Amino acid sequence: MGSWQRYNLNVPSRNYKTVSFLSDYGNKDEFVGVVKSVIHSIAQHVSIVDITHGIKPHDIRAGSLALARASQYLLPGVVLAVVDPSVGGDRRAVAIEVNNGEYIFVGPDNGLLALAIAMIGDVTTVVELDRPDFHIPTYSSTFDGRDIFAPVSAYLCAGTPIKELGTPLSELSLQPGLMPISNFEGNFLLAEVLWEDHFGNLQLNISEDDLKDFGENLVIHIGDKVRTVRRVNTFNQIQDSEIGIISDSSGLLALCAFGRSAADEIRIGEGQQLKIENGSSVQETPTMITIKEKP
C-alpha cells in the first residue's frame, strides 16, 4: 500500500468507535471487505456496522431513503455511504459534521446523504475531501470507497479533526436529497411507491395523517386498473385474498399482504405512482382484479 499508512494520526480530538456503512457494492465481490480492511488498517479499534450493501447499483434515491430510514437508530460516530455512479467525475467527495460532531457523514456529494442528515440534526462543518495525504495513492478513479472514503473515515475515528481533511464548504452548496411529496387532486390522494422491501411490502410516501378523513376501505388506481385495499393494524388482520395498507416501522403507510408479496400481486414497483380514493365515496364497486404483467 505504500506510505499512506504513515498518516495514522493520534491528534487530540473526538475519537469515534463506530463506522456505519451503506453501499451498493453487494456481497458477491470483494469491495465491502476491502473497504473494511482499509478502515481497520488505520483505526483498529473501530466497529463497523453494515447498514446494507444491497442497494440497487447506482440507485442514489434508494440509498438515500435506506440511509434515512436507518438514521435515527445509528450509533454516534462516522457514517460512510457510497452509492456513486459518477465516481471519478466532477461530483465532490465530502465529509459533513452533524450536531457538533455527534456524527460525521462521509461520501459523495450527490444527494445520498442529505435526507438522513436532515433527520438527525444540524450541519456544523462541511469539507471537500481534496487532501491526498489522507487518501490511498492510486492510478485509478473507479474505487473512491477504498481510496478516499475508507481512509478518511478511519482517520476521523483515529482522532483527525474534520477540518484537516479538506477545504471548507458551505452547507448551502451541498446537493439536496429528493423526497417525492404526496398531494391531493380532487378526491384522489396522489402517492408514490418509495420502497419494495424483502417481503414485497410497498412503502408509500404517505402517513396516517394523510388518510385522516378516509374510511377503512380504500380504492387504489394504478393507471386504468383499480383495487380495493383495507386499512389494518397488523398483518394477520389481512384476509387471504386481500391487500392491506398498514403503518410500517418507519411511520409511513405500506401496501402489504399476509404471507404473500403485495408487489408481486398488484404488479407495481419503486417509483411508480398511484391514486388513492376513499372507498365510501365510490358510488359503484369497481371490478376487483389482480394486475398482471402483459404477455
Q: Does domain 183-281 have CATH number 3.40.50.1820?
A: no
* 103 vs 108: CA distance, rounded Å: 16
* 9 vs 162: CA distance, rounded Å: 13
Could you state, in order of their start, the residue ranges of all structural domains in the chain? 2-173, 183-281
CATH of range 2-173; options 3.30.470.10, 3.50.30.30, 3.40.50.10790, 3.30.2310.20: 3.40.50.10790
Q: What pTM did the predictor assign?
A: 0.86
For 5, 256, 281, the CA distances from 290, given in Å and listed in that order, are 59, 14, 22
Question: Going residue by residue through the chain (295 aa), what tens digit of pLDDT does each one get?
Answer: 344 443 444 444 578 999 999 999 999 999 999 999 999 999 999 999 999 999 999 999 999 999 999 999 999 999 999 999 999 899 999 999 999 999 999 999 999 999 999 999 999 999 999 999 999 998 889 999 999 999 999 999 999 999 999 999 999 999 999 888 899 999 999 999 999 999 999 999 999 999 999 999 999 999 888 999 999 999 999 999 899 999 999 999 999 999 999 999 998 989 999 999 998 654 444 444 444 454 4
pLDDT attached to residue 224: 84
* 138 vs 133: CA distance, rounded Å: 12
Which cell numbers hold the place of 245? 395498507
Angle between helices 150-157 and 31-42 (to 10 degrees): 30
Burial track 2-19 (b if 16+ CB lie within 10 A, e otherwise): eebeebbeeeebbbbebb
